[in-house]
Amino acid sequence: MPSSLPAVVLLSDPASPQGLQAGVLLADVLEESGYQLLRAAEGEAAEALLAPSRAVALLMELEPGDAAALALLRRLSALTAVLVISRQHDPAWIVRLRDAGAVDCLSKPLRLSLLLERLARWARAPQEGTPPRAGAGLVQPSAVAASMTVRERDGHCAWQSAQARAWTARYFPPPFARQARLPPDLLLWLHREALRRRAGAMAAAITIAPWGGAQGPRLSLSLHEAEPRLIGEGHWLVLMHEASDAARVARLARALHLEPAQAELLFACMGGADEAQLRAALGLSADGLTQRLAALCEALGVATPVQAVARGQAVLRQA
């Protein structure tokens, strides 16, 4: 029967018996569901298929910790929406996949009904122009904070974005950046603010200077709760801004009577990140981000994130 749905590229590894078997099963399901299926055995082949086909989605399987696959994901996500099937549910790995551009991540064992539901979100109708991007429903946000997840027990940084790694190298004294651990003074700050959060108080940010007396801007760190299934039990999300951006976030919170997490989200929506980057930076699932955006709009008395962004822009213009 003729397909009524747009093209989907399926990238699977024919050198792996498991990958080949899974690819055959997915191919049957996708074709029976009406998708125009294009198959690729390697990244270069997938890239070659995407441009002429105007495919709106690509499914690929990735092993946890595969750096080469992450690089490929970054290239492919610049061309189309990429849904990733991961062979293991590792929260830190899922965050890395989203940071590299995945619009959705599904873990094995795979529920085919869920796969088709998620795929339909990105491939509802044929597209004549640019494929849908992860932030299609949001104003394209100037700066998403660098982020890292920190284990409360010992200050181990379980995951860091690339910008967070660069900043810890500049602002943390040796050997803490190399060991991916908070220095003792920051660990004390984390423990104190975690207690404040549990008591219902707002956590206070901390500002530090570059280590060794180096000249330059200061770095502000703030503590946030995130979804444990994404960042791991016993971990906190730490967001980092250089001082000028931290001051803008604080101004938004004061002027608009927002909680710190809401001001962070609003500031992110005023910058240049897509939805996947927002979720990764803020430790949120797709549903979690939707709920946070709805709460932000309610707090501001507006109907849409676009209107929320306009309120924030007006505040910063006045400054």
Tell me, yes or no, whether 101 lies in a domain.
Answer: yes
Cβ atoms 267, 231 nearer than 8 A: no
Cα torsion angle, 152, 156, 159, 164, sign: positive
- pLDDT, tens digit, for every residue of 300-315? 999 888 888 888 888 8
156 forms bridges with which residues in the sheet? 181
Number of domains in the chain: 2
List the domain range (segments joined by +) for residue 290: 146-318
Predicted pLDDT of residue 272: 54
Q: What is the pLDDT of residues 201-243, one digit of tens each?
A: 887 889 998 887 777 788 889 998 888 877 888 999 999 888 8
**Residue 100, CA distances (Å) to 14, 49, 107, 311 in order:** 24, 20, 17, 30
The 10 Å Cβ neighbour count of residue 166 is 13
Same domain, 288 and 162: yes
* Residue at 151 is within a domain: yes
Output the domain CATH number for residue 34.
3.40.50.2300
Q: Say whether both 167 and 29 belong to one domain.
A: no
Residue 27 confidence (pLDDT): 76
Q: Is residue 194 part of a domain?
A: yes
DSSP state of 130: S
How many CB atoms within 10 Å of residue 160?
Answer: 24
Please check whether residues 108 and 167 belong to one and the same domain. Answer: no
